[in-house]
Amino acid sequence: MARPVALPAVIRTRADLHQALSRARRPLGLVPTMGALHEGHVSLIEKAHADNATVLVTIFVNPRQFNESADFEAYPRDEAADVRICGAAGASFVFIPSVEEIYPPGFQTSVRVGPLTEPLEGAARPGHFEGVTTVVAILLTLAGAERAYFGQKDAQQLLVVRRMAQDLGIATEIVACPIVREADGLALSSRNVRLTAAQRAAAPALRRALLAARARYDAGERDAEILRAAMRVTLAAEPLAAPEYVSCADPATLGELDEIEGPALLSMAVRFGAVRLIDNEPVP
Ligand code: AMP
pLDDT value at 237 more than 80: yes
If you average pLDDT over residues 123-132, what whole number do you get?
98
Q: Residue 263's pLDDT band (boundaries 50, 70, 90)?
A: very high
If you average pLDDT over residues 32-42, what whole number do you get?
98
What local confidence, expressed as pLDDT, does residue 3 receive?
Answer: 60
What local confidence, expressed as pLDDT, does residue 144 receive?
Answer: 98
Cis peptide before 282, with omega less than 30 degrees from 0? no
How far apart, in whole angstroms, are the C-alpha atoms of residue 221 and residue 219?
6
Q: What percent of the chain has pLDDT over 90?
A: 98
What local confidence, expressed as pLDDT, does residue 4 receive?
Answer: 62
Determine the distance separating the centroid of ligand 1 and the alpha carbon of 187, expressed in angstroms: 10
Q: What percent of the chain has pLDDT over 70?
A: 99
Determine the distance separating the centroid of ligand 1 and the alpha carbon of 152, expressed in angstroms: 8
Determine the distance separating the centroid of ligand 1 and the alpha carbon of 155, expressed in angstroms: 10
Nearest CA to ligand 1 atom 17: 40
What local confidence, expressed as pLDDT, does residue 6 receive?
Answer: 81
Nearest CA to ligand 1 atom 5: 33
DSSP string computed for 33-101: E-SS--HHHHHHHHHHHHH-SEEEEEE---GGG-SSHHHHHHS---HHHHHHHHHHHT-SEEE---HHH
pLDDT value at 2 more than 90: no
What local confidence, expressed as pLDDT, does residue 49 receive?
Answer: 98
User: Would the CB of 190 count as within 6 Å of ligand 1?
Assistant: yes
pLDDT in tens, 131-167: 999 999 999 999 999 999 999 999 999 999 999 999 9
pLDDT value at 5 more than 90: no
User: Would the CB of 280 count as within 6 Å of ligand 1?
Assistant: no
User: Would the CB of 189 count as within 6 Å of ligand 1?
Assistant: yes
Which atom of ligand 1 is nearest to 187's Cα?
19
Q: So which residues are the catalytic ones?
A: 41
pLDDT value at 79 more than 80: yes
pLDDT value at 233 more than 60: yes
How far apart, in whole angstroms, are the C-alpha atoms of residue 99 and residue 34?
12
Nearest CA to ligand 1 atom 10: 150
User: Would the CB of 207 count as within 6 Å of ligand 1?
Assistant: no
Which atom of ligand 1 is nearest to 153's Cα?
12
What local confidence, expressed as pLDDT, does residue 31 receive?
Answer: 99
Which atom of ligand 1 is nearest to 152's Cα?
12
pLDDT value at 15 more than 90: yes
Lowest mean pLDDT among 3-17, 90-104, 111-125, 203-217: 3-17
How far apart, in whole angstroms, are the C-alpha atoms of residue 175 and residue 160?
13
Determine the distance separating the centroid of ligand 1 and the alpha carbon of 283, expressed in angstroms: 21
Q: Residue 94's pLDDT band (boundaries 50, 70, 90)?
A: very high
What local confidence, expressed as pLDDT, does residue 62 receive?
Answer: 98
Q: How far is CA 76 from CA 122, 192, 213, in A?
A: 23, 10, 32
User: Would the CB of 203 count as within 6 Å of ligand 1?
Assistant: no
Site to substitute for ligand 1 among 44, 82, 191, most atoms within 8 A of C-beta: 44
Determine the distance separating the centroid of ligand 1 and the alpha carbon of 221, expressed in angstroms: 31
DSSP string computed for the chain: -PPP-PPPEEE-SHHHHHHHHHTS-SSEEEEEE-SS--HHHHHHHHHHHHH-SEEEEEE---GGG-SSHHHHHHS---HHHHHHHHHHHT-SEEE---HHHHS-TT--------GGGSSTHHHHSTTHHHHHHHHHHHHHHHH--SEEEEEGGGHHHHHHHHHHHHHHT--PEEEEEPPPB-TTSPBP-GGGGGS-HHHHHHTTHHHHHHHHHHHHHHTT--BHHHHHHHHHHHHHT-TT-EEEEEEEE-TTT-PBPSB--S-EEEEEEEEETTEEEEEEEEE-
Closest CA to 50 of 138, 177, 172, 165: 177
Q: What are phi and psi of 71, to 5 degrees?
A: -65, -40
Please provide the average confidence, as pLDDT, over all residues in the chain: 97
What local confidence, expressed as pLDDT, does residue 1 receive?
Answer: 54
Determine the distance separating the centroid of ligand 1 and the alpha carbon of 163, expressed in angstroms: 18
